[in-house]
């Protein structure tokens, strides 16, 4: 082979290799995992108890992928009640069917059945986590997701010189062996956003929206609270006190519109708590923070619009506020809630429905044909059948 032909052959070979690498980087790898949920005995702090776990491990198995990869997780529910899994911090572009929060994007996976999640790692890098998103099962059903940079790239920051151990102390948990911690008149406490306590429907919101069944939710989540007062007052308020309304109200958003949300903490008589507010399907910019009551005239003048922090969860101080902005560029049904389980179960949550754009690439993907059925998977239905058997 003469030199000219050898050069041509080398060019072609390198072109094919480079094309293969670029194609791999664009499409990413495909990973498969099996999650078997069942009760297992674990001993912690000298106490042995049975708990729901994944693959007999606590915490659950580690997931390790690269940016741009696709993950399929087949969840086998060998427990006794319905469960869902959420991929915390993963955007899931146009793919809300596999986001995971119960009665928001799916109904729980019934006991004795399985469901396969498709997880799209489109733009994430770093360490995230997966966890159950049904009732209180997140306490034991969770694990880490390590997302490495795409093949051929590196993290945009140097490797640290040393590892540091960080201990996070949880505050706000009370040991309550009797009824001394009950709410007024023995009633259960409630949480609210804009005086609205979110009520889970019997059909998940995504299915209802996609099938145009409007009876399961109302598209009029309020833009502001019904009454404005000193949200961080040190004295007890007795005037204009209103109980929260319990309803399934959602907020409708046009595709690609810019959204600003101001979270105002409440701390009347120093009885409030901080709230980690988490938004599914998006990362948002924290453009402002402050203490006291938000002033919509002066506080926006202090916004950081140059290099704001970009996150998926923001801590709201009990005696202050935080303002976020994001662009509604991910069509679908997306959950927003406080990430304290007890607050979420009390109703400190709501739903954003981002409408489709004008093209298929800006519209929600078609649903899979194997979504868990809502009429047989709910815990309420399971409990009702148990009571019927006892009778």
* 197-235 tens-digit pLDDT: 556 666 777 887 777 877 776 666 666 665 666 556 666
Mean of pLDDT values over 132-149:
90
CB 263 within 8 A of CB 229: no
Mean of pLDDT values over 316-341:
87
Alpha helices for the chain (secondary structure H): 3-27, 205-210, 341-346, 374-377, 379-390
More confident residue, 272 or 108: 108
Q: Which domains, and CATH codes, for the chain? A: 29-148 (2.60.40.420), 190-362 (2.60.40.420)
The angle subtended at Cα 344 by Cα 140 and Cα 324, nearest 5°, is 110
DSSP label at residue 188: P
Q: At 156, phi and psi to the nearest 5?
A: -80, 30
Residue 309: pLDDT band (50, 70, 90) is: very high
Estimate the share of the chain in helix, then strand, then coil, as percent rounded to the nearest 5.
Answer: 20, 30, 50
List, in sequence order, every beta strand (DSSP E) within 106-193: 114-120, 126-132, 142-148
- Residue 375's contacts (CB-CB under 8 Å, 6 or more residues apart) are 381
Q: Which residues pair with 127 in a beta bridge?
A: 146
Q: How far is CA 161 from CA 151, 155, 158, 164, 165, in A?
A: 24, 15, 9, 10, 13
């Amino acid at each position: 082979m003469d030199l000219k032909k050898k050069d041509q052959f080398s060019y072609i070979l390198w072109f094919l290799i480079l094309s293969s690498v670029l194609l791999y980087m664009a499409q990413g790898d495909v990973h498969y995992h099996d999650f078997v949920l069942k009760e297992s005995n674990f001993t912690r702090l000298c106490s042995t108890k049975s708990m729901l776990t994944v693959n007999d491990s606590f915490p659950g198995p580690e997931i390790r992928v690269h940016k741009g990869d696709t993950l399929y997780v087949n969840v086998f529910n060998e427990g006794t009640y319905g469960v869902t899994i959420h991929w915390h911090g993963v955007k899931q572009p146009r793919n809300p069917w596999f986001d995971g929060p119960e009665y928001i994007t799916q109904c729980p996976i019934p006991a004795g059945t399985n469901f396969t999640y498709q997880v799209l790692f489109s733009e994430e890098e770093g360490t995230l986590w997966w966890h159950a998103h049904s009732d209180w099962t997140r306490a034991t059903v969770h694990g880490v997701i390590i997302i490495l940079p795409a093949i051929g790239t590196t993290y945009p920051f140097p490797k640290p010189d040393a590892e540091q151990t960080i201990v996070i102390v949880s505050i706000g948990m009370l040991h309550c062996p009797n009824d001394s911690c009950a709410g007024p008149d023995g009633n259960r406490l409630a949480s609210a956003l804009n005086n609205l306590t979110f009520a889970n429907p019997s059909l998940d919101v995504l299915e209802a929206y996609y099938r145009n069944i409007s009876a399961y939710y109302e598209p009029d989540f309020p833009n502001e609270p019904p009454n404005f007062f000193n949200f961080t007052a040190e004295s007890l308020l007795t005037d204009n006190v209103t109980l929260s309304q319990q309803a399934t109200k959602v907020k409708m958003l046009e595709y690609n519109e810019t959204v600003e949300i101001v979270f105002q903490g409440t701390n009347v008589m120093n009885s409030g708590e901080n709230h980690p507010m988490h938004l599914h399907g998006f990362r948002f910019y924290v453009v402002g923070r402050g203490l006291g009551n938000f002033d919509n005239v002066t506080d926006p003048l202090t916004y950081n619009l140059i290099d704001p922090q970009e996150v998926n969860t923001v801590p709201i101080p009990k005696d202050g506020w935080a303002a976020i902005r994001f662009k509604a560029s991910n069509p679908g049904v997306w959950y927003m809630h406080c990430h304290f389980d007890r607050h979420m179960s009390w109703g400190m949550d709501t739903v954003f429905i981002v409408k489709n754009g004008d093209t298929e690439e800006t519209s929600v993907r078609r649903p899979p044909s194997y979504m868990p059925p809502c009429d047989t998977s709910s815990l309420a239905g399971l409990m009702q059948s148990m009571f019927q058997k006892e009778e």
